[in-house]
Homo-oligomer: A and B are copies of this chain.
Amino acid sequence: MSKSGIKQVAALCGVSPATVSRTLSNPDIVSEKTRDKVLKAVELCGYTPNRFGASLRTQKSGNIVVIIPDITNSVNAGIIRSIENAAAKVGYSVLLGDTQRDPEKVKHYAAMVRSGQVDGILLFSHQFPFDLKEDSSLLHHLPPMVNSCEPLALDNICKVMINNTAAAKMAVNHLLDLGHRRIGAITGNMDAPSSQERLAGYTQALQEAGIEFSVELVVDGNYQIESGKLGATKLLALHNRPTAIFCFSDNIAVGAYSALYEAKIEVPQQMSIVGFDDTEFSGYLNPPLTTVHQPLIEIGQQCMRLLLAQLNAKPISNKYVELPVQLIIRNSTAKISH
């Protein structure tokens, strides 16, 4: 069967190409008789509309790009899965923009909106993805875009976020409630707003409890497992070691568990641990990890909802959506022992 275009189909059933197009994209405006005729011919030819032709005419690609630092991170993966689901439901395809934290790749993927390759952008980065010097009008005529997880320092942009500060505070307060006074922290990448905010939450919680902030108790991590192991090792080496550690990600907690295991320190009897993310495995760690649950599915859905509104030029009542988090208390935290 040779390649069948809309013309072949039209010829086969004796109508114009226009009618075939209408039948497929707007069936209601064509009479039932011709509709059946056309549909039959379409079936017979195995005709699928060519995307290029349609896109060229409509100036819509039907694609969106999700720009995200690392798809291997399970938080990111969970969000992307949710996005893919939501996008598929409304007929969009998702292009994967895994950037490996390379600023150039961020720009590269964002530029796809200029060439028409994608219609909109889901940006999980705090880096502004365009060269303003190249087209300064961009700041005022931004393409359809929503920003999530790592907030951009710009306020006319749709965002879906969690309140990292409040979440961190909640986690630390839990430890305080259990009687802990020396609470360590292992951070994420400190250039990431999320990590800065979590640190702020940690600090505030201590302050409100009247506990003096101690520099030695917060060690730099990067959200990865290994940094958790290193960080915990450092905290353990402290002259006056903490009785609890707030890990800025579940990955960090895994690393911390490993360090504690090797040091033969029991969780939670000798050390309480709190994580962040509630990734799938956190309930299966030994002991199961107390952690802050992030609503990955809702994040993806809200991102898609806001992007879709922009794509369809619908009004958006609220550009900033904040999703609730939840502290999941498992067995990695316990009352301080005396």
A318 interface residue (CB < 8 Å to B) = no
A188 interface residue (CB < 8 Å to B) = no
From A44-52, A176-184, A211-219, A319-327, give the one contacting chain B. A44-52
Q: Which residues of B contact A93 (CB under 8 A)?
A: 95-96, 112, 117
Q: A53-B56, A137-B1 are in contact. Are A96 and B115 (CB under 8 A)?
A: no
A46→B133 CA distance, assembly (Å): 10
A163 interface residue (CB < 8 Å to B) = no
Q: A80-B71, A281-B254 are in contact. Are A49 and B115 (CB under 8 A)?
A: yes
A61 interface residue (CB < 8 Å to B) = yes
A77 interface residue (CB < 8 Å to B) = yes
Q: Measured between C-beta atoms, what is the minimum distance from A297 to chain B in Å? A: 11
Inter-chain contact A50/B96, CB cutoff 8 Å: no
8 A Cβ contacts from A201-216 to B: none
Scan A7-48; emit 1 where CB is below 8 A from any B CB, else 0. Answer: 000000000000000000000000000000000000000101
Inter-chain contact B81/A77, CB cutoff 8 Å: no
A78 interface residue (CB < 8 Å to B) = yes
A94→B280 CA distance, assembly (Å): 26
A270 interface residue (CB < 8 Å to B) = no
Q: Measured between C-beta atoms, what is the minimum distance from A249 to chain B in Å? A: 12
Inter-chain contact A95/B98, CB cutoff 8 Å: no
Mark A residues whose CB is within 8 Å of B.
1, 46, 48-53, 55-56, 59, 61-63, 70-72, 74, 77-78, 80-81, 84-85, 88, 93-96, 98, 100, 105, 108, 111-112, 114-117, 134-135, 137, 225, 229, 251, 254-255, 257-258, 261, 280-281, 284-288
For the A-B complex with A62-B117, A71-B71 known, give 13 more contacts whose Cβ atoms are closer than 8 Å: A46-B134, A51-B117, A52-B56, A72-B280, A80-B96, A88-B105, A93-B117, A95-B96, A225-B280, A229-B284, A254-B281, A257-B284, A281-B281
